[in-house]
Every structure is written in structure tokens, then in C-alpha cells.
Amino acid sequence: MRIFVKRRSVINTLFWVILQSKRGELMSLKNSMHLSGHRALITGAGQGIGEACAEVFADRGADLILLDKNRNTLPRVADRIASKGVRMVAHIIDLTRTNLLQKLIEEMQAERTIDILVNNAGFDRPGVTAKTGKEDLNAVLGIHIGVPFLLTKWLLPEMRARRWGRIVNISSVYGLSGAKGEAAYCTAKAGVIGLTKTTAREAGADGVTVNAIVPGLIRTPPMIKLPDKYKQPIIDQTLLGRMGEPVEVARVIAFLASDDSSYITGTTITVSGGWGI
């Protein structure tokens, strides 16, 4: 009986040690993916992928600056994020108004460091090359490349000085493959990848990582409105056979913003359900 009790005691002790070890591993994983102590600026935060990023980042403890020009959607998102108890400010702003944007960034930087940047805002003006006007081209390039370029330019120096920073740019499968009738959009999204790789080369030695997400067909408001005759062929070419959800993209962005991605920079991560591989 004594031998049995002793063996049972040893087994219980070993079980406790293993359990504590597993708990430690889980806590380590949770902490590494956590974003507490960081301040993230997310553009296009009023809907779609940007809104999902705000949710995921808030759940992981990040302080947030949410920017969008949509007066209807951003306040709703901001109210929901504020209820989570994180530090958050939201500004309705046209990101292409450079002087206003620069002034806002300077005010935000004066308050506290911004060490995570998610360049998500964008829109599309479809058209084939021969029929795409200069105004439409410049508008699409301005929001997809011009705004990320300027925000990176303004925020990167402080990230480099602090030797920690994360920049995540949003490209598209069309930025890799091209697409008929999307001359301006495809050009812009390809440019996002070029900006990503160039900035990564400039900032890597200072501990700043810069990566691009390449989403496929994601259930964002514009894609929901897209007629089925355009969506279904893409879904048919998607290995998982469905549209992606914004949160599925946001979780990858949050990973790239965390310490778990510390050895990943200058690359693209495709979140497309297998479309475009």
C-alpha cells in the first residue's frame, strides 16, 4: 500500500509539472501574440478588413488610432471598440488631403509613439488601360501608394530610432496576377509590393519589419455588392471554395504586428483561400 501511494504521488507530481509546463507554453504564446504596450494606426478602419483589424487588435490589447473618411461607418466601429476598454481615438479624414493628414500625424506622435502601421485604405475605379483617364489613375494610385508612402515616411524615423516597428501594407492577388478591366487597381496594388520590399530593405537593420498581405476575394462591403456573375468564377477558382472573411485577414495582419513575426520582413503573405496560387 505504501509503495502504491508513493507511486501515485510521483505520478501526480509529474502530471502537475507537465501541466504547469503546458500552461507556461500557452502563456508564452499568448503574450507573444499580444499587442499590449503598442499603438497601432489603421487606415480604412470603418469597414471590411480595417474594421476587423480594429477588433482583433483591440482584443489583443493594442492602443488604436482609427482613420476613415466614412462618417456613417467609423463612429459605429469606434463605439464598439471603445466598449472593449482599450485606449482609442478615431478620426474622420480624407487621407488624400496631405496637409491635414500630416498635421494629424504630428499631433498623434506628440502624444505618444505610433509603432504599428496598417495601410489598408483603398478604393477601385475599374477600367481597361485604353479607357482609364489620368484622373482616375492618379486617384487610385494616390490612396493605395501615395498615402502609405507618406505615412511610412512620417512614422518610420521614430520606429527606427526606437528599434522596433511593424508596417503591414495591403496589396491584392490582382497586384500579382493583373486582371482585365482593373488597370489602375492592379498597377496600384503591384506598387504596394514594391513599396513594401523597398522599405523593408531600408528599415531592417533598425528592427523594423515591413510586409504585405495579399488578400483574395474577401467578404467586404464592395465585394458583397459585386454581382454573382463576377464573384462566382473567382470562388470556383478558390481551393477552399468560398469567400474569405475580413477577420481571417485581420488575424494574419495581427500576427505580422506581433513579436511572433520578428524574423519576417520584406515578404508577401497570400490570404486567398488558394485563389491565384
C-alpha cell at position 159: 520606429
Rg for the chain, CA atoms, rounded = 22
Least Cα distance to 187 among 122, 241, 240 occurs for 122
The yes-or-no answer on residue 230 being catalytic is no
Active-site residue (options: 174, 185, 230, 263): 185
Interacting residues of 143 by C-beta distance below 8 A, sequence separation 6+: 95, 96, 121, 122, 123, 188
CA–CA distance, 126 with 40 (Å, rounded to integer): 31
Helix, strand and coil in the chain, % to nearest 5: 55, 15, 30
Q: Which amino acid is at 229?
A: K
Residue positions annotated with a catalytic role: 185
